[in-house]
Amino acid sequence: PQEGTHGHVHFQEQLHDSAVMVTQDKDGHFLVKVGFLKILHKYEITFLLPPVPRLSMDICPLPVPSPNLRVITPVSLSVSPLSGHSVRCEYTAHKEGVLKEELLLAGHGPSHIKVTVQARVMGK
């Protein structure tokens, strides 16, 4: 897997940020690891996706039935799709364990990419 870029997690109760790692698999999909989170807390996660040739500059989230993860803003970083996309989402840590939630991002064409957000959720 290709090592990607970094992002951050904003904690509601604490003032520090936690590192986010983004990696891309051979199929072009992404895994976003957000580290340790507390159960029953809501987090704002921001991460940067590197350029994806099959997506256009304007991307939008496709509807995915997950009440625990929702995209707030997908943003192209400049006038060129070669700059990548910054994605901000809201995540609710609803149970303990290693959790994975998926989101789909699409451009103007028929292509889309899958982004899996993985978090380690700890008890209170």
The whole-angstrom separation of Cα 60 and Cα 83 is 16
Q: Record the pTM.
A: 0.78
The DSSP element (H or E) to which 7 belongs, if any, is strand 2-11
CA 114, 34, 119, 71 dihedral sign is negative
- Say if strands 69-76 and 30-38 run parallel, antiparallel, or are unpaired: unpaired
The whole-angstrom separation of Cα 118 and Cα 33 is 5
Q: Which domain holds residue 113?
A: 2-122
What's 102's domain CATH number? 2.60.40.10
Residue-wise pLDDT tens digits, 8-44: 555 543 434 467 899 999 888 999 999 889 999 999 9
Kindly state the average pLDDT of the residues 54-64: 80
Number of domains in the chain: 1
The pLDDT of residue 81 is 52
Residue-wise pLDDT tens digits, 66-87: 899 999 887 665 555 557 788 8
Whether 1 shows a pLDDT value over 70: the answer reads no
